[in-house]
Amino acid sequence: MNDVLDITKALADGSRLRILMALRAGELCVCQLIELLGLAPSTVSKHMTILRQAHLVEARKDGRWMYYRLADRQAPKAVRQALAWLQPNLANTREISQDSKKLQRILRVDRETLCKKQNRS
């Protein structure tokens, strides 16, 4: 039951839903997620911790950057079902459509440039 509670807690926030939908595009650096959401790095970090605890996302560190991706096929069944349910129910919403367009622009920016810009803010 705790797994389901962790998943429902993770899904009970609009920013976390936006993160999950953005990760459909593939693995993203935390600086890209910060840029997309327009939130403080500490806030995004807290969201990512909650998503990781629910096993909805996986993370890896590469040098200075932390990368996140959606959980894969080996994730618990409840996680796979939650992710499968989210995508068709949110994909065509105005906010997710706007995020998709913004993410396309963000992905064209060099990660190092993006991270430096955020560190100056």
Residues facing 29 on adjacent strands = 67
Residue 58 within a domain: yes
pLDDT in tens, 36-88: 999 999 999 999 999 999 999 999 998 878 999 999 888 899 999 999 999 99
Residue 121 within a domain: no
Which residue type does 33 have? L
**How confident is residue 110, by pLDDT bands cut at 50, 70 and 90?**
confident
At 70, which CATH number?
A: 1.10.10.10
Residue 118 within a domain: no
Dihedrals phi, psi of 105, to nearest 5 degrees: -65, -40
Please state whether the predicted TM-score (pTM) of the whole model is above 0.75. yes
Residue 119 within a domain: no
Residue 65 within a domain: yes
Q: Which of 60, 59, 51 is nearest to 79 (CA)?
A: 51
In the predicted model, what is the mean pLDDT of the chain? 92
Residue 54 within a domain: yes
Residue 94 within a domain: yes
**Whole-angstrom distance between the N-terminal and C-terminal Cα of the chain?**
42
Tokens of 91: 């994909």
pLDDT at 8: 94
**Of the given ranges (19-33, 61-75, 97-111), which has the lowest mean pLDDT?**
61-75
- Number of folded domains in the chain? 1
Alpha-carbon distance of 11 to 117, in angstroms, equals 30
DSSP label at residue 23:
G
